[in-house]
Amino acid sequence: MALVGDDVQFLLLVSGNGNIVAMETNGVPMGLLTLNATFDGANGTFVPVSQPVVNDLRFYVLTRFLPTEDNRKAERENTKGSSV
């Protein structure tokens, strides 16, 4: 959880499943962002790997791409017959 802003303050909640929630300090929700995406043809979610860095009303979150389980199964099946 991070406090964002100088005059008007918001709480920034970053979860390990890729959800980012902004809310006022009195608990009123301001917004929700889910970091779902398609990367190199694989569906998945960008998940946070550290706490957000806050600069006034901007925040930066370091993430990594985590493919969905269906994509990981397909990738394992496609590489079963290949030799490395």
CA distance 51 to 33: 16
Residues 6+ apart with CB under 8 A from 65: 37, 39, 42, 44, 45, 46
pLDDT at 48 over 60: yes
Residue 25 has phi, psi (to 5 degrees) of: -70, -15
Cβ neighbourhood burial of 32 (10 Å; 0-12, 13-18, 19+): exposed
Domain boundaries, the chain: 2-79
Q: Which pTM was predicted?
A: 0.65
pLDDT band at 84 (very low <50, low <70, confident <90, very high): very low
pLDDT at 62 over 70: yes
Average pLDDT over residues 68-82: 61
In degrees to the nearest 10, what's the CA dihedral of 73, 77, 80, 81?
-170
